Structure 1
């Protein structure tokens, strides 16, 4: 069916995301920046998101069916979904939260699909794809899947999902249906795209485009201020992050350097880590300030010596690059990370980071070696800033995404002529 839209008109984009500010998750800021910069690239953007509820229990419940407002030129529509009111909701409450929003989005899209040229769904959670799949099948809308990680693989490796279980099989069937029907699959790293092609049948490499997390380099930048004796982690305090080993490393580090380790944010294992800090007598060394307003984060990074980006060493996390690594580099501080795959590539290619082995002693030695060479730290900070400005600014990523959206709207791409996963724009 031919599109009624001509290339001279603004592209009308609907983005469906489980998270959006004032929530402070990494994907909330990613979708906020992406939508804002898409508007700057001659697009009309509407974002569907639930009423703010993450981290759970930190927002007052809202019972309004829908609420609309303009944010940075973006039309934001918050839809009713179930809102857990405890910090650690049980399985039933979590599933009600994850499922009620996409089903509401399906209903909303069914009455409003004519207002949009393309629908973009952001995952995880995987259920946001329901609205994109229904709009593709029923109304033949163009559909972009924005994929940030392989949720099923990660859940299995972290012990939340049993391999071969009924739930895994159903989830794989659903994802196969989504990937097969999507017009474009945006992935944050090359490895993630290759994993999707290897795991699922008949996925054309031509429609898999690398759309990195990136960073708003105008918002995150090196501020001129006196450095504090601290290293910092800011973000989700979850199971994939190897924060416990960094905490345990602080005892050895503080035998030489009197540093504080700031862990800003919230998440499923925060209480567990706080207990580790108490058990080890590190309450004066490891500080948990909680959720920090986004506008304060660049200052916190700029006044810190090193940013920490620790991933557990799991095969299923080799595709991952934490957004915070880009943000540290944008603020001109080196980062110490852990894990393999894409995060190691970023550290080596940028010159802005160092990868440690996943143990307290290794973290301690890596951090202390860096602290002992202030010139190296300054050079790494400059290299990191230069690298993200050139390769990972969200402004440029949004421009490249818009170009790829134009491609699926106006051109027929011959998938057989394209090999491998391509970047969302020129490399």
Structure 2
């Protein structure tokens, strides 16, 4: 089969590790012909380019800036990318007939691209639903429900669902939310297709890496809590800063924050002004470097804004599970992340905003090494059973045999 994957992720190489590149390599390794269309943002100053990368065809389309830019430019670029991708497909893929189109949210503005390919090639379509927009923006106070902008994006969202033959959601709560708020969707075409990766071998679970601790100024007896990934509005940064202030003078705690996003500067300023000594902030790192850091940490952290009404499952969950890290999570009450942590036995949960409740769970993890190790191994086992790209491939392709 000829498979087209449409994504807003800037894919430097298909060899890089991540939920999408891992899945595309799985499709390739299972005998499918894989084509990817992705953005090449204007900031890099490079033209559109069509290459073959390790047996996968990649079309990098010059677009406006989408990541790490102001909301106005991001909004304009997100709207324009639809026509840019459509024109690129007409030019570079005019002789290719696709059997299946895969695409993910965000963004929701691929509907016309998907519709064009589906009509031209009479192919199947599968949406990997990672984000429910515009409701997430409503939850965070960025868009007013009922406004002209909301109506525009809500219409795009509904049309994207309509053109999709199948919709893969990250969790059971995702499925329930989608069907409840979009009753016109046929339940038979909606299923759970979670964030998945191709796990690396688990080499060790000994976290006492002296070289790592010396490099970042971490005391030898401190328990290292890591928060890695996007540092933006959805992550509930206010609560993260409250937690950091609360543990400021606790010498047995060390927080390592690794990532990038709109709130990075705010976190950096807060740490400098309050003279935090047991917190280290690092900017975005390549995946391989980040993975090495994870291997030397003790606990993985997950934060989500308490205002969310949509069930989010952050992709960093699989990164922590892969590294056999126990998880301490503070989220809204609508996500079923709490249920996943309980079912897998891999972590502890508190409601975002409940500072005492969250401090209790991180103190419990800090004081009990055997609990940390057992929860970490539980998470790794759960990952290998449910969250591998091999499983996800089977879920998707079960519809097209």
Give the shorter-chain TM-score range: 0.7 to 0.9
Aligned counterparts of 2:372 and 2:205: Cα–Cα separation in 1: 16
Q: How many residues align?
A: 383
Q: Is the 8 A contact 2:175 2:191 kept in 1?
A: yes
1:329 maps to 321
User: What secondary structure sits across from 2:63 in the alignment?
Assistant: coil
Aligned counterparts of 2:13 and 2:297: Cα–Cα separation in 1: 24
1:379 maps to 374
> TM-score, normalised to structure 2's length?
0.88
2:135 maps to 153
User: What secondary structure sits across from 2:262 in the alignment?
Assistant: coil
- The worse-fitting range, judged by mean Cα deviation, of 121-130 and 376-385 is 121-130
- 36, 40, 46: which one aligns with 2:29: 40
- Could you tell me which runs of 5 or more consecutive residues in structure 1 were left unpaired when the two chains were aligned: 1-10, 54-58, 408-427
CA apart distance, 1:234: 0.9
- Gap change, CA 1:74 and 1:237, over 3 Å in 2: same
Q: Write the mapping of 1:4-23 to structure 2, written as runs, cut at 5 A.
A: 11-22=1-12
Q: Write the mapping of 1:264-283 to structure 2, written as runs, cut at 5 A.
A: 264-282=258-276
- Gap change, CA 1:383 and 1:90, over 3 Å in 2: closer
Aligned counterparts of 1:121 and 1:356: Cα–Cα separation in 2: 33
Q: Is the 8 A contact 2:318 2:383 kept in 1?
A: yes
Aligned counterparts of 2:163 and 2:286: Cα–Cα separation in 1: 39
Aligned counterparts of 2:292 and 2:127: Cα–Cα separation in 1: 33
Q: Deviations over 1:8-36 (max 9, x none)?
A: xxx11001101033399x9x822111111
User: What secondary structure sits across from 1:246 in the alignment?
Assistant: helix
- 381, 390, 396: which one aligns with 1:395: 390
1:180 maps to 162
The reply to whether residue 60 of structure 1 matches residue 44 of structure 2 is yes
Runs of 4+ in 1 over 6 A off after TM superposition: none
Aligned counterparts of 1:270 and 1:76: Cα–Cα separation in 2: 31
CA RMSD of aligned residues (A): 2.5
- Gap change, CA 1:363 and 1:176, over 3 Å in 2: same
- 86, 89, 98: which one aligns with 2:78: 98
The reply to whether residue 243 of structure 1 matches residue 232 of structure 2 is no
Q: Is the 8 A contact 1:241 1:311 kept in 2?
A: yes
Q: Is the 8 A contact 2:110 2:160 kept in 1?
A: no
- 31, 36, 39: which one aligns with 2:20: 31
- Gap change, CA 1:204 and 1:219, over 3 Å in 2: farther
User: What secondary structure sits across from 2:34 in the alignment?
Assistant: strand
Aligned counterparts of 2:248 and 2:321: Cα–Cα separation in 1: 25
- Gap change, CA 1:355 and 1:174, over 3 Å in 2: same
CA apart distance, 1:137: 4.2
Q: Deviations over 1:308-331 (max 9, x none)?
A: 0111223424x2111112211221
Aligned counterparts of 2:183 and 2:119: Cα–Cα separation in 1: 19
CA apart distance, 1:175: 2.1
Aligned counterparts of 2:203 and 2:85: Cα–Cα separation in 1: 36
Aligned counterparts of 2:158 and 2:254: Cα–Cα separation in 1: 46
Aligned counterparts of 1:254 and 1:377: Cα–Cα separation in 2: 22
User: What secondary structure sits across from 1:265 in the alignment?
Assistant: strand
- Gap change, CA 1:243 and 1:321, over 3 Å in 2: same
Q: Is the 8 A contact 2:4 2:35 kept in 1?
A: yes
1:351 maps to 345
Q: Is the 8 A contact 1:110 1:135 kept in 2?
A: no
Q: Deviations over 1:398-426 (max 9, x none)?
A: 2322223x15xxxxxxxxxxxxxxxxxxx
Q: Deviations over 1:150-195 (max 9, x none)?
A: 1211000101110111121222222222212321112212222222
